[in-house]
Amino acid sequence: MFDTLRQTIAEADPPAVVGLDAPFSLPDPIVEEPDWRAFLETVPDIFSDADDFQTTCHRLTERATGGDRKEILRRCDERFDGLCPYNRFVFRITYHALRGLLVPLVRSEAAAAWPFQPGAATADRVLLETYPAAVLASRLAVRSTTYKDAHDDPAFRRAVLDQILTSDAVTVDPQPTATAIRSVVADDAGGDALDSLLAAWAAAAWVRGDRPTTDHRAPPSEGFIHY
């Protein structure tokens, strides 16, 4: 899984910045390693698959909370009303992003994850954790999930896309490509096509220097959501 995406990132012409709609970390109370890189190196050995990842995270959370809870949020999740990285809707994405993307890309030095790795900001390829709902809320002052799945709303997706393409955030050229993207985004009831553009918007903001400020209450091992 993610083989094509991993290869695309690894072969991207530098400098490249990639926004990924997937958690890069776990809540600090359930991580025993001293820093994010050390944690990342343990992922292939500790978790046998996505289901084991969720089960193990639930067990570690129960231990950390004295049995009170099975899920807790990172500071960045709390800020944007996000989900726990091992919530039932997200755990497979988190596991495969860690195991299939971050581990091999970071190990091979094909890319670096910001803000976790020293010098990542000047790496040939930079990886950023993004959250499309946070981009909608912060860039367009819109809090909505009505463009996805059972809440399919093509008009909403088209309206958001128009705002993206008329801003200086994302440039799509030539025009036939923009027309094709517009059609794909409008017709994609799952919302993944629009999410990819919102992730690109977050990455473009980072390139322009519009970056999250440090939350001194948040452990460095948890990182940021870029929006």
In a domain, 103, yes or no: yes
The pair of three-digit structure tokens given for residue 53, joined into one six-digit string:
């990842």
* Long-range contact set of residues 159-162: C-beta below 8 Å, sequence gap at least 24: 160/136, 160/194, 160/198, 161/185, 161/186, 161/194, 161/197
* pLDDT value of residue 191: 83
User: Contact, 36 vs 221, CB < 8 A?
Assistant: yes
Tokens 């993206």 belong to which residue?
Answer: 164
* pLDDT value of residue 156: 81
Domain encompassing residue 194? 3-222
* pLDDT value of residue 145: 59
In a domain, 227, yes or no: no
* pLDDT value of residue 182: 81
User: Contact, 30 vs 64, CB < 8 A?
Assistant: yes
* pLDDT value of residue 155: 81
- pTM confidence score: 0.90
* pLDDT value of residue 212: 75
The count of domains in the chain is 1
In a domain, 203, yes or no: yes
Residues of the chain with pLDDT under 70: 1, 144-152, 168-170, 172-176, 213-217
Residue 217 to residues 22, 26, 79, 192, Cα–Cα distance (Å): 22, 15, 12, 32
* pLDDT value of residue 154: 79
Q: Which residues contact 138 (CB under 8 A, 6 or more apart)?
A: 227
